[in-house]
Amino acid sequence: MDKSLQVICMGAMSHLGLMFFIYPERIITSTHQGHWEPILIQSLIFIFFLWLYLKGLSYFPQQDIISILKGIGKTLSFILLFPVLLYFIVTTIELINAYAELTTIIFLANTPTWAIFTLIILISTYIAVKGIETILRTSILIFSIFFPLILLMNVF
């Protein structure tokens, strides 16, 4: 079974969630004038690291990052991938905390944030225990429900 559409939807929803939910607040609080400056700087840094990544991959034709890292050993692979792991952990914690605070503000004003945070983690853990297929099916469902709304909000 080809799951490439599901993986694309999962990646798109993860990045859209981070980009539309947390990123605007960080931009607004980072500067008092010219909000385009941090966006331009971050975009240039992203393009530089993307170029660096693609340049590194060009030295290993017909290989992906997994096969390259298998050849250099577990210790060096861990050292190279540790910043990515740290980024994923920090981003996940920050997003869960932001969603818990938003849920507390909008829906459950008398419920403590830690209870919502715990509930989100427990539900996510339960879905993860059920397997990757469940996560990917859920991402397709969420993508099909909310992506048209995001497009409509950006068009009008």
Cα–Cα dist 137/6, whole Å = 7
Which residues, at least 6 apart from 68, have a Cβ–Cβ distance to it below 8 Å? Answer: 57, 60
Report how far apart, in Å, the C-alpha atoms of 26 and of each of 19, 21, 50, 71, 135 are. 10, 10, 22, 39, 29
pLDDT at 82: 92
* pTM exceeds 0.85: no
pLDDT at 136: 81
Q: What is the pLDDT of residues 96-151, one digit of tens each?
A: 888 888 888 888 888 888 888 888 889 888 888 888 888 888 888 888 888 888 78
